[in-house]
Amino acid sequence: MPVLLRRRLAFSVKLIVAEPQFQEYSRERTGSRWRVKNLTYRISKYPSTSRLSKADVDQELSNAFNVWAGVTDLTFTQKSKGQVHIDVRFEKGEHGDGDPFDGPGGTLAHAYFPVYGGDAHFDDSETWSIKSYRGTNLFQVAAHEFGHSLGLSHSDVRSSLMAPFYRGYDALFKLDSDDVQGIQALYGKKSTPTTTVDRATPTSTEKSASEDPLLCKDGSIDTIFNSAEGATYVFKGDSYWKLTPEGVAFGYPRPISHSWKGLPGNIDAAFTYRNGKTYFFKGDQYWRYIGKKMDGEYPKPISEGFTGIPDNLDAAMVWSGNGKIYFYKGTKFWRFDPAQRPPVKSTYPKPISNWEGVPDNMDAALQYTNGYTYFFKKNSYYRFNDRTFSVDVADPAFPRSAGFWWFGCSSQTSGTYKPGNSGFNWFSQVHEDVGGDEGVSSPSLFNNEHADSDDQSRHSDVDDLILDAGSYWPRPFWPLLCRNPVRHLRHRLRSVWD
């Protein structure tokens, strides 16, 4: 026991201070191992929502186990009753092991080493998804957690599945050589090669909602935001929609005024802050709500509650890179930091072009639960990679159709949405590189936006934002899985935007 504790603690510290550039596998990455290779598991508690069927969950978790079976002689058999090696459960809050889940975002899952039973628990409050950039990808998180259940600790190689952060959905997922070396150090190489699971092949049986006539005809929106409860809402005119991983939820649109009493339509921007309150902006005024209930006497002037921020905004969001609020208007952006006086530095506004590939005059911005930042303009959207500080490089390239990818409009193409001289033209395949070279950051944005990301100054309140006492936002590069390995003796997967 003491040896294992020392190893795990040393590894957690090394994740913070060491450069993630290790080429050889280290035995220090292992916790313990199973003494048999034919393992059994049971899903004793499924997700409580209807977003994923039991068949979907069974298939995705089987795929996750098969990631490790594909490179070793391990086998995994699902059982519905009796004793098993690994018990899998979807739980909310406190669930009997002294390590409660914290709701949407934050801790996504945790798992035990074999010596402690190998069980894996997933936060039932998360929006688990299958083959979607929205929500949290169940397959990839499960494959990571099952790596811990098999005895792997975290990897210092950033491309590794066992790296200590959730990087978002990867349609072309495959194990890194470091993962393979790690698992084979525990269980040996596979005696007969097998075909790797193809993550590009659809397996989900989820049903999509019928196409929404308003959003599918014109995908431009007023604002999009995540609620404190983890729901994603889209506002347009006097109506709003709730989104699911497949598109629009049934029963929408609904009138904004019926759900958010006292809130007008045609909102300019909105975001939910870490105090759990949602702020809406229109013209020169703003409103504050807790859930869907107005929190006090509103509206109030933006100039009083958000000193230094202009009226008639285009978009706003809380960015995970430093936990600060960003406002966008025209070709400029402002950073609002409630922990400093004045909350907007004299060096702002700055050009939006600092965010490489992001358009001016945007309609909305969102830090989504999968760790990516999204910008919306007209019928299209851009996915911004916070690690490369540029619009993400993908196929199809960005911008893409918001209707197809966000609102479930299957009649629209999934290809690149590219500006033309008159309106927009569609391209199913794009050959030029969009968003710059991967891994090349924007120096001005990186240096300026991270220069004071660890500012420890705090005030009880600044203007109209109440800060959570003792709440800090981690760097986007290393959201650690092991926050307290000595106390809990387990690994936790944390989302990028916790």
Task: Pick the closest to residue 479 from 394, 389, 387 (CA basis).
Answer: 387
Helix axes 54-69, 138-149, angle to 10 degrees: 50
Residue 426 has pLDDT above 80, yes or no: no
In this structure, the number of other CB atoms found within 10 A of the CB of residue 120 comes to 26
pLDDT at 489: 35
Digit-coded pLDDT (tens) for 448-498: 443 333 333 333 223 334 222 223 233 222 223 333 332 233 343 433 222
478 phi, psi to nearest 5 deg: -135, 65
Handedness of CA 90, 92, 95, 100 (dihedral sign): positive
In the residue annotation, 145 being an active-site residue is answered as yes
Give the integer Cα–Cα distance in Å for 238 and 236. 6
> Which residues, in sequence order, are bridge partners of residue 289?
278, 294
Structural domains in the chain, sorted by start: 2-206+477-494 (3.40.390.10), 213-466 (2.110.10.10)
Give the integer Cα–Cα distance in Å for 286 and 427. 39
- What confidence tier does 264 reach under pLDDT thresholds 50, 70, 90? very high
The residue among 385 and 25 whose pLDDT is bigger is 385
- What confidence tier does 327 reach under pLDDT thresholds 50, 70, 90? very high
Digit-coded pLDDT (tens) for 349-380: 999 999 999 999 999 999 887 767 899 999 89
pLDDT at 138: 93
Q: Is the pTM of this model over 0.75?
A: no
* HSE of 125, CA atoms in CB hemisphere, 13 A: 18
The single residue listed with the structure tokens 């916070």 is 386
DSSP states along 25-73: --GGGB----S-SEEEEEEEE--SSSSS-HHHHHHHHHHHHHHHHTTSS
Helices (H) and strands (E) in the chain, counts: 10, 31
DSSP states along 380-437: EEEEEETTTTEEPP-SSPSSEEHHHHHS--TTS-SSEEEE-SSSEEEES---S--SSS
Handedness of CA 119, 106, 155, 143 (dihedral sign): positive
9 phi, psi to nearest 5 deg: -65, -45
Residue 61 has pLDDT above 50, yes or no: yes
- Provide the 3-class DSSP secondary structure of residue 179: helix
The residue among 210 and 177 whose pLDDT is bigger is 177
- Mean pLDDT value across the chain: 75
Question: What is the percentage of the chain residues whose pLDDT exceeds 70?
Answer: 73
Q: Token pair of 496, please?
A: 């990028």
Digit-coded pLDDT (tens) for 165-200: 777 777 778 898 899 999 999 999 998 654 433 222
Residue 347 has pLDDT above 90, yes or no: yes
pLDDT at 167: 74
Task: Pick the closest to residue 94 from 117, 115, 51, 125 (CA basis).
Answer: 125
Tell how far CA 230 is from the center of its chain: 11
Task: Pick the closest to residue 326 from 374, 288, 283, 285 (CA basis).
Answer: 374
Q: Which of 60, 91, 126, 145 is catalytic?
A: 145
Note whether 30 and 154 are within 8 A (CB): no
pLDDT at 42: 95
Residue 80 has pLDDT above 50, yes or no: yes
- Provide the 3-class DSSP secondary structure of residue 145: helix
Q: Tell me which DSSP letter residue 309 carries.
A: P
Q: Tell me how far apart the terminal alpha carbons of the chain are, to the nearest angstrom.
A: 31
pLDDT at 31: 54
pLDDT at 98: 77
- Averaged over 216-225, what is the pLDDT? 93
